[in-house]
Structure 1
């Protein structure tokens, strides 16, 4: 597999209800992961050198669902399925982070 142009990591970490850190699963990462998966398939983004991976905890559980884009290391917070096309169009294909979703500096 060649090195991807961009690699999107979507946190799907789950923790028991009431856990003090919370989790991206409790914040709705399931539909977010599905939206990214569907968009990657429909738009054939893998064929364009992009990669998508679901992950365990990325760290900032309180601002989940979290999405991390490499190689830039841009962390997105409170991402919803409705944000997926904007992240793809603006960041993955246009090389410009979606500023309104970038996690606060103290988080990342």
Structure 2
């Protein structure tokens, strides 16, 4: 069984019936997931970081929302431009990105 160092949940506004619509989806959260996956692959972190999409966290005004465990760090208003920084500073450096935290 894989024991990742980080487990990342990214809101894609996925509804119970499987459709994606809502604030985080409209703000590009699917593209953010793809950026995380590419960045993690490029940095050879696939064994250390697991990415999952999720439904609404209920704080749409802070979206797109990214939550990182085991620390329970919540990032808000995340854009594709923030992905490299989160991976470098948090996943590789071990220090959450303060100015992106909710």
Give the match for residue 100 of structure 2.
101
- How many pairs were matched up? 96
Assess if the C-alpha contact under 8 Å between 2:11 and 2:64 holds in 1: yes
Distance of 1:74 and 1:25 partners within structure 2: 21
Give the match for residue 56 of structure 1.
55
Deviates more, 1:23-32 or 1:78-87: 23-32
Name structure 1 gaps, 5 residues minimum: 16-21, 104-108
Name structure 2 gaps, 5 residues minimum: 14-19
The alignment's TM-score, normalised by the length of structure 2, stands at 0.84
Give the match for residue 16 of structure 2.
none
CA root-mean-square deviation: 1.4
The 5-angstrom pairing of residues 78-97 of structure 1 reads 78-97=77-96
Distance of 2:7 and 2:89 partners within structure 1: 14
Runs of 4+ aligned structure 1 residues displaced above 2 Å come to: none
The alignment's TM-score, normalised by the length of structure 1, stands at 0.80
